[in-house]
Every structure is written in structure tokens, then in C-alpha cells.
């Protein structure tokens, strides 16, 4: 199967491509979206100052809590919402400037996958996947030629005659993905596609989306509230908090060097970052005389944790108490996290932190224990 290479977007709405714009298939430039006040409620500023580029053929994740503005952001891409300020440029065209006819063509170049699948219960698997093609007026022979390989791709060839009620959640989402691909889109928008699924099924759906990204070169913009989803599939990530992007970048960097408090809180349950229960139970913000300072050390890339810590002991004469840790990898790049206790004696902490920094290790003081 090939992905449609020609743009369905009206020529008069085209924007001259700069080098950067050519590289990004979706670009938010200074985007704001407010919903006006109603009788019973004040105006809602759902998004403000959004600058985000989605490189062609990449997977970009947007993570945020409920109400952060994720759905609004994704609805701006297919023109279901219009920005109050700024531009949303999809494949060189500002979608906010388009009339309904041109928007319909843009939407055909954008596939969408939903949390609750949105399948028609009265239609078979085959007919659900065929639906967008029927709506576009495609003839029956072309529909068959298009839908059959899509059902193979998502692993549902043997379920083509089944109805949604006869499918598991994961199978329903596979139908949703095949349907989203039926019009050969250039971009796939995923709105919490795995939120209704158990962890194992989530994994298999994310694997499928990863395969589609790699094999078809399809760009995927996904929104989620789970770091595990970002980690499993995205190359870049933006963290959305109360309508603003508070941090964005490469997934490995964001996981290993989070800058913003919101990002840190999303990462709290990630391996190695979670405090061991016996530490979490007693940690406090204020120093404890004669106690220990709890420090997280992050090793990025090839590392040898123990030699560095034994150097701290040998060369600085500081006892290091290992409280927890893990070794992990993201996108094939290794990193490790150690949680250690250092003596709260007025000097050891600064000396040890300086020593670790000289060796290019990231540290973060988490609190104090007795």
C-alpha cells in the first residue's frame, strides 16, 4: 500500500514553504483558542501561545492532564475548531483560512483514531473500513482493492464479516485504524487511542501504529495522558499544561532531563524515578539534623554507576547510601537512575554534587530522611 502523495489542498490557500515549514507536515504558529463566555459560564482560554512542529513521517506525542487542551489542539488540525489567533499549517496550507469544500479535502488527507473507536454497530468490519471511501464516492472494485490489504495490515483479514459487538477492544481499535487509513492519509491523528484498552492490548496497538509509521512513512500526532504511550512510540513530545506547552523536545531528553514540574510529575511513576516505599513514606522537605539528603542521579548513555559512587567515597571521603535505582532504555538509548542518601553535614552535599556534575551526571535533590 502506498500513501497518497498529492495534496488535495486548494492551491489558492497554499503558503510559500520556508525550509523549516517544508520539513514539518503540521505546524502550529502562535496558536490560541478561546471559547466565548456563555450565559452561565465565563470565557475559556483553552490554548495560548502554541508553537509546535510535527516533522514529516515522525511520531509526535502531546501529553497533558484532563482539560489541558489536548482535544482542542488536535481538532484545530482537521479544522473542527478555528484558532482565535495564530496559524495551523497542514502540509503547507493554513487550515483556518479554508472554506468547507477545501476543508473536506484536507480532512480526507488526515486520518483519525478515537478512544472509543466510533464504529458503526450495524456494519461489518469490512464495511466500517470501507465507509470513508463510500462517502468519498469510490467505486466498489477500488474499495475492495483498498480495504482488503488494510485488513491484512491490521491483522483482521479473518474477521472481515464480523460485527463490532463480536470483537474485543483491541480488535475494534484495529478496525478504527484501518478505517483511518482507508483514504490514504498523510497524517494520522490519535485521540487517546489506547486509553480504553488493557496494558497488553495497548502495547499491541502501539506496535501496530509504530509499524504503520515506519512502513508507510505516515506522520502520527497523538494525544495522551500517559507517559508510557509517549515512551513506546513517539520521537518527540510536547507537555501541555493549562493550555500552554511548558516543555517540548526529544523523548529521550525529556525523560532523562525533565525541566518542568508538570513533566516531572508525569514521569513520577516511570521506572527508577519512583521513590522506594520506605523512602517515600518518610521523605520531607526540611533538612533533618544528622539525617540524609536524598538525591536522584541520572546517568545518560553508557555508564558505570558503582565506580563513580565509590570514587565519591574514596576521593571525597563521603559515604553514599544507595536507596534505589534502575537501568533502562528509551528508543534504544540506555540510561540509569540511582536514588542515594548523602550525609546532611553541611558540606558533603555540595562537594558530591559538584563531583558528579564534573562527570556530566544530572542530579536532583528530592528531600530529606532521618
Ligand X SMILES: Nc1ncnc2c1ncn2[C@@H]1O[C@H](COP(=O)(O)OP(=O)(O)OP(=O)(O)O)[C@@H](O)[C@H]1O
Closest CA to 136 of 109, 98, 156: 109
Instruction: Pick one of 71, 202, 337, 344: the residue that binds ligand X (CB under 6 A).
Output: 71
221 lies in the site for ligand X, by CB under 6 A: no
Residue with Cβ nearer ligand X (65 or 333): 65
Q: Who's near 59: CB < 8 A, 6+ residues apart? A: 209, 210, 213, 219, 220, 222, 233, 234, 235, 236
Instruction: Find the radius of gyration of the CA atoms of the chain.
Output: 24
275 lies in the site for ligand X, by CB under 6 A: no
CB of residue 147 vs ligand X: minimum separation in angstroms?
31
C-beta atoms surrounding 155 within 10 Å: 14
224 lies in the site for ligand X, by CB under 6 A: no
1/205 Cα distance (integer angstroms): 19
CB of residue 58 vs ligand X: minimum separation in angstroms?
22
44 lies in the site for ligand X, by CB under 6 A: yes
Residue with Cβ nearer ligand X (61 or 64): 64
227 lies in the site for ligand X, by CB under 6 A: no
Residue with Cβ nearer ligand X (69 or 324): 69
Element (H, E) at 227: helix 227-233
262 lies in the site for ligand X, by CB under 6 A: no
CA distances 77 to 53, 99, 110, Å, are 12, 14, 9
Per DSSP, the residues of 81-123 read: S--SEEEEEETTEEGGG--HHHHHHHHHTEEEEETT----TTS
CB of residue 214 vs ligand X: minimum separation in angstroms?
27
Residue with Cβ nearer ligand X (104 or 244): 244
Unique residue bearing C-alpha cell 513520577: 268
Instruction: Pick one of 9, 26, 59, 68: the residue that binds ligand X (CB under 6 A).
Output: 68
193 lies in the site for ligand X, by CB under 6 A: no
Instruction: Pick one of 67, 149, 276, 307: the residue that binds ligand X (CB under 6 A).
Output: 67
- Convert residues 229-248 into a mask of x (bound to ligand X by CB under 6 A) and - (unbound): --------------------
265/104 Cα distance (integer angstroms): 39
User: By CB neighbour count within 10 A (0-12 exposed, 13-18 middle, 19+ buried), where does 317 fall?
Assistant: exposed
Instruction: Pick one of 25, 31, 46, 237: the residue that binds ligand X (CB under 6 A).
Output: 46
Instruction: Pick one of 32, 35, 270, 351: the residue that binds ligand X (CB under 6 A).
Output: 35
CB of residue 26 vs ligand X: minimum separation in angstroms?
17
Cα angle 203, 209, 212 (rounded to 5 degrees) comes to: 140
For residues 288 and 370, the answer to whether their CB atoms sit within 8 Å is yes
40 lies in the site for ligand X, by CB under 6 A: no
- Which residues within the stretch 102-141 sit at the binding site for ligand X (CB under 6 A)? none
Tell me the number of residues near ligand X by CB under 6 A.
11
Residue with Cβ nearer ligand X (44 or 157): 44
C-alpha cell at 99: 472554506
368 lies in the site for ligand X, by CB under 6 A: no
- Which residues within the stretch 47-66 sit at the binding site for ligand X (CB under 6 A)? 64, 66
Q: Who's near 361: CB < 8 A, 6+ residues apart? A: 297, 298, 299, 308
352/370 Cα distance (integer angstroms): 19
69 lies in the site for ligand X, by CB under 6 A: yes
Residue with Cβ nearer ligand X (71 or 128): 71
79 lies in the site for ligand X, by CB under 6 A: no
Residue with Cβ nearer ligand X (17 or 37): 37
Q: Report the side by side order of strands in the sheet with 110-114.
A: 110-114, 187-191, 219-224, 59-64, 236-241, 244-250
CA distances 215 to 3, 113, 151, 163, 249, Å, are 10, 18, 15, 28, 24
Residue with Cβ nearer ligand X (62 or 150): 62
Residues that bind ligand X (CB under 6 A): 35, 44, 46, 64, 66-72
Amino acid at each position: 500500500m502506498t500513501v497518497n502523495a498529492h495534496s488535495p489542498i486548494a492551491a489558492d490557500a497554499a503558503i510559500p514553504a520556508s525550509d523549516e515549514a517544508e520539513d514539518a507536515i503540521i505546524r502550529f504558529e502562535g496558536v490560541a483558542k478561546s471559547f466565548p463566555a456563555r450565559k452561565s459560564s465565563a470565557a475559556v482560554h483553552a490554548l495560548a501561545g502554541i508553537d509546535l512542529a510535527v516533522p514529516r513521517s515522525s511520531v509526535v506525542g502531546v501529553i497533558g492532564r484532563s482539560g489541558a487542551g489536548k482535544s482542542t489542539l488536535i481538532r484545530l488540525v482537521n479544522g473542527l475548531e478555528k484558532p482565535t489567533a495564530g496559524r495551523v499549517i497542514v502540509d503547507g496550507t493554513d487550515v483556518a483560512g479554508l472554506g468547507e469544500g477545501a476543508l473536506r479535502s484536507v480532512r480526507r488527507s488526515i486520518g483519525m483514531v478515537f478512544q472509543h473507536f466510533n464504529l458503526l454497530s450495524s456494519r461489518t468490519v469490512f464495511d466500517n473500513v470501507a465507509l470513508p471511501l463510500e462517502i468519498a464516492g469510490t467505486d466498489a472494485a477500488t474499495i475492495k482493492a483498498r480495504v482488503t490489504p488494510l485488513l491484512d495490515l491490521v491483522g483482521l483479514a479473518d474477521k472481515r464479516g464480523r460485527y463490532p459487538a463480536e470483537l474485543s477492544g483491541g480488535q475494534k481499535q484495529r478496525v478504527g485504524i484501518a478505517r483511518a487509513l482507508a483514504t490514504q492519509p498523510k497524517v494520522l491523528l490519535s485521540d487517546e487511542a489506547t486509553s480504553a484498552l488493557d496494558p497488553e492490548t495497548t502495547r499491541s496497538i502501539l506496535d501496530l501504529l509504530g509499524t504503520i509509521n515506519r512502513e508507510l512513512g505516515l506522520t502520527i500526532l497523538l494525544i495522551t495522558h500517559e507517559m508510557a504511550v509517549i515512551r513506546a512510540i513517539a520521537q518527540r513530545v510536547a507537555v501541555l499544561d493549562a493550555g500552554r506547552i511548558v516543555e517540548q523536545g526529544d523523548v529521550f531528553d525529556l525523560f532523562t532531563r525533565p525541566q518542568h514540574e508538570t513533566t516531572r510529575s508525569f514521569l513520577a511513576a516511570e521506572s527508577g524515578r519512583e521513590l522506594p516505599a520506605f523512602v517515600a513514606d518518610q521523605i520531607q522537605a526540611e533538612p533533618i539534623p544528622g539525617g540524609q539528603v536524598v538525591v536522584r542521579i541520572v546517568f545518560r548513555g553508557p555508564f558505570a554507576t558503582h565506580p563513580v559512587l565509590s570514587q565519591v567515597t574514596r576521593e571525597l571521603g563521603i559515604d553514599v547510601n544507595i536507596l534505589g535505582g534502575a537501568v533502562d532504555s528509551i528508543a534504544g538509548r540506555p540510561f540509569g537512575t540511582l536514588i542515594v542518601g548523602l550525609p546532611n553535614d553541611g558540606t558533603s552535599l555540595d562537594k558530591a554534587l559538584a563531583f558528579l556534575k564534573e562527570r556530566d551526571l544530572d542530579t536532583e535533590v528530592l528531600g530529606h530522611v532521618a
